[in-house]
Amino acid sequence: MPRYALKIEYQGAPFAGWQRQRDQKTVQGAVEAALAKLEPGLGSIAAAGRTDAGVHALGQVAHCDLTADWDPFRLSEALNYHLKPDPVAILAVAVVPEDWHARFSAIRREYLFRVVSRRAPLTHDRGLLWRVPHPLDADAMREGAGALLGQHDFTTFRSVMCQADSPIKTLDAIDIETRDYPGGREYRFTLRARSFLHNQVRSIVGTLERVGAGAWPPERVADALESADRAACGPVAPPDGLYLTSVGYPEDPFKSA
């Protein structure tokens, strides 16, 4: 039974997250329904990460086992046909070894969080960015973010519903870039780690936004981290601006796709 890796892009607004739920529209449910059109009775698929309701993906990865030997390109075309009109697209398909796993074989995950500072409401990008009405100090946010790099107990930035065995994680990178945006300015937060806790990225960005707005001094981020207390966290950023951009593996299964 061949195993296939799927690289998936989706707009998260219409979905109650990645994970299949009874009586809820989910990304996993949409992909599995498309696969069932090709092979009825297919089991569940596994993904590299379970994104929350409203969170987007540019490079989610999942795997599935099929009975037929599909040409990867033809499989992606067939799935995209059956996924319409949902805002989900299969960007690439690759044949992988039977012991390869989208989640457990991954060695890196990267997220992007987009924040825009402008007074006017969003129109074209509504649901795709977090709009704040005030300017942000990028240098102050970078200073605060520096305390989060490396291995730490991230209890402060962990959802109370997080099911991870340990709050110890290693944040390999957190970069903050700025660019022009119509009527304002966009701030792009890129975070990279082997794995993340539930709501860790949104908690970090929400806290750094308070630093950028001048409500927190940069050093308060280090104090919040050190406290290992969820109550010390800033507001959790909304899901609108969050994107799972890529998942890394020892060998890229899509390098020839």
Q: What is the DSSP letter of 136?
A: -
Same-domain pairing of 138 and 163: yes
Give me the pLDDT at residue 30, please.
97
CATH of the domain at 52: 3.30.70.580
Q: In this structure, is residue 252 part of a structural domain?
A: no
Q: How many domains does the chain have?
A: 2
250 belongs to a structural domain: no
Assess whether 101 and 122 both reside in one domain. Answer: no
44 pLDDT exceeds 90?
Answer: no
Q: What is the pLDDT of residue 163?
A: 80
Tell me, yes or no, whether 12 and 60 share the same domain. yes
| Rounded CA separation 69/89 (Å) | 21
Residues 141-193 have pLDDT tens digits of: 999 999 999 999 999 999 988 888 899 999 999 999 999 999 999 999 999 99
The tokens of 9 are what? Answer: 């892009």
Q: Which residues are catalytic?
A: 52
Q: What is the mean pLDDT of the chain?
A: 96
Does the pLDDT of residue 76 top 80, yes or no?
A: yes
- For residue 144, what pLDDT is reported? 98
Amino acid 42: pLDDT:
81
Residue 256 forms part of a structural domain: no
Tell me if residue 88 falls in helix, strand or coil. strand
Q: Percent of the chain scored above 70 by pLDDT?
A: 100
Considering only CA atoms, which of 116, 115, 203, 85 is closest in space to residue 155? Answer: 203
pLDDT tens digits, residue range 236-251? 999 999 999 999 999 9
Asked if residue 75 and residue 113 are part of one domain, the reply reads: no
Region 202-226: mean pLDDT is: 98
Q: Is the peptide bond between 182 and the residue preceding it cis, with omega within 30 degrees of 0?
A: no
CA distance 70 to 75: 6
Q: Which amino acid is at 168?
A: I
Asked if residue 1 has pLDDT above 70, the reply is: yes
Domain of residue 213 covers 108-245
* Residue 89 backbone class (left: φ over 0; alpha: ψ -120 to 50; beta: rest): beta
Residue 257: what pLDDT? 65
Chain CA centroid to CA 174, Å: 14
Range with the lowest mean pLDDT among 42-46, 115-119, 208-212?
Answer: 42-46
What's the whole-number mean pLDDT along residues 44-55? 94
